[in-house]
Amino acid sequence: MEKCRLLLFDLDGTLLRSDKTISRATLNALRDCREKGMWIGISTSRSEQNALAFIEELQPDLLITSGGALVKYKGEYVYRAGFSKETTRRMIGLAREVCGQDCQITIDTADAHYWNYKIEPKKQDPSWGESVYTDFMDFEESALKMCVEIFEEAQAKQLAKLLDGCDCVRFSDGYWYKFTKKEATKEQAIRELCSICGIGTNEITAFGDDYADIGMLKLCGTGIAMGNAVSDVKKQADLVIGSNDEDSIANYLSLLLTIRRAEMKTLVVYYSQSGNAQWMAQRISSALSADLLRLVPKKAYPAKGFGKYFLGGGSAVMKEAPELEPYTADLKQYGRIVFVTPVWAGTFTPPLRTFIQTENLEGKQFGFAACSLGGSAEKAFAALKSLLGVTGDVPTLWLVEPKQKQKQENERAIEEFCGKL
């Protein structure tokens, strides 16, 4: 299975249930995936304004709105494919000529969603954000997307022909058709995003249900159609799961995490002076069938006498990064690194600092284990998190002189720790 770095969701008919809410199980599954380092993205035909409730709820890392006409990454707009004011006016004029002067039209701009609605939108869908009512008579805005309600297929075909520079897709729900620039599709927006944030399209798992999602599902490494998707979408997808009302996304994500856990190769990296951390590292590596890497400083820390605590403790407090004896480890093959260290002067040992500063550990998951004479390892774990730049929870294990004081409860604690990784 290709490594999934980004989970990308259409909203209506996909991430949203029919009542336009996201289930608790789905939210929990998304949180778990995020904790495991995956990014969460939204890819919707809604305008940003009309998706605000879900943007606030999900805090997505990436956002594709207006069917691909607007793309946001790290809070900044990075791609926009819109029409000029003149073209927008022309498009509205043509829509009215073909579909009748009173046909319903919506226009997304970068800041607002305009609509000559007949029924207050929030009455139909409470999740809908602000729509500004307009009769489009003197419309002076640049559109990202125009949607037109068209009941006759022949009229839709005629309008698409007149607007031949546009990408025209029908929404299966109702009689709405969207018109965006040809290059404003979800799949094109994904290509733009990938080039900016360094993700390969094969590292994306995308979920969708409607015609506008077909290109996205075909482009991404894994394209998943909902059970309620239109049949053309199902035909093009790599996998069809249950409907949007059945927690199918939550179930799929929990399976994905289980498979990843089983497949992930682990490296246990440790420094030990008198054998306790080594004892833990060996136990952990055998429980996880993981590889072991011992870090050895070129200049050994004194193992006895006054210098033992003074020099080692000082080196840890001063955040020294001692030179290490050469080691061989192909870090690329490991998805998870477990660091095992004695506590020195309340923190982790300096050889780990050298390793972390030297190696590229981006995208890896971590676990921390420490041993001490009795002093807490919390500060050591916090310092490791900060050096690694990790913000989420990391599984931890702290034992007191485990090699000297062998206890059954230590074995249980190791087992429990490995289970959390």
Return the range that interacts with ligand FMN (CB under 6 A); candidates 30-38, 125-133, 234-242, 372-380.
Answer: 372-380
Q: How far is the CB of 270 from ligand FMN (least distance, A)?
A: 8
249: region left, alpha or beta (phi > 0 left; psi from -120 to 50 alpha) = alpha
- From candidates 37, 342, 350, 351, binder to ligand FMN by CB under 6 A: 342
Cβ contacts of 419 within 8 Å, gap of 6 or more:
none
Return the range that interacts with ligand FMN (CB under 6 A); candidates 115-123, 162-170, 229-237, 336-344.
Answer: 336-344
Among residues 51, 49, 11, 45, the alpha carbon closest in space to that of 132 is found at 49
| Distance, CA of 56 to CA of 128 (rounded, Å) | 13
Q: For 25, list phi and psi in degrees, rounded to 5.
A: -60, -40
Closer residue to ligand FMN, CB minimum distance, 4 or 295: 295
Helix spans in 66-185 (H):
85-99, 121-124, 153-162
Q: How far is the CB of 109 from ligand FMN (least distance, A)?
A: 60
- From candidates 100, 227, 242, 275, binder to ligand FMN by CB under 6 A: 275
* Using rule CB under 6 A, residue 413 touches ligand FMN: no
Return the range that interacts with ligand FMN (CB under 6 A); candidates 139-147, 170-178, 193-201, 273-281.
Answer: 273-281
Per-residue contact track with ligand FMN, 283 to 322, x per CB under 6 A? -------------------------xx--xx---------
Closer residue to ligand FMN, CB minimum distance, 334 or 344: 344
Q: How far is the CB of 282 from ligand FMN (least distance, A)?
A: 11
Among residues 412, 392, 409, 340, the alpha carbon closest in space to that of 369 is found at 340
| Distance, CA of 235 to CA of 256 (rounded, Å) | 22
* Token pair for 159: 């309008």
Q: How far is the CB of 295 from ligand FMN (least distance, A)?
A: 12
Radius of gyration of the chain from its Cα atoms, rounded to whole angstroms: 28
- From candidates 14, 185, 276, 410, binder to ligand FMN by CB under 6 A: 276
* Using rule CB under 6 A, residue 407 touches ligand FMN: no
* Using rule CB under 6 A, residue 371 touches ligand FMN: yes
* Token pair for 344: 């020195």
* Using rule CB under 6 A, residue 227 touches ligand FMN: no
* Using rule CB under 6 A, residue 375 touches ligand FMN: yes
How far is the CA of 276 from the CAs of 136, 291, 409, in angstroms?
75, 18, 16
* Using rule CB under 6 A, residue 345 touches ligand FMN: yes
Q: How far is the CB of 241 from ligand FMN (least distance, A)?
A: 47
Say if residues 66 and 48 touch (Cβ distance below 8 Å).
Answer: yes
Among residues 26, 76, 32, the alpha carbon closest in space to that of 54 is found at 26
Strand order in the sheet with 166-170: 132-133, 113-115, 105-108, 145-149, 176-181, 166-170
Determine the size of the site formed for ligand FMN (CB under 6 A). Answer: 22
* Using rule CB under 6 A, residue 396 touches ligand FMN: no
* Using rule CB under 6 A, residue 88 touches ligand FMN: no
Residues composing the chain: 421
Interface contacts to ligand FMN, rule CB under 6 A = 272-278, 308-309, 312-313, 342-346, 371-375, 401
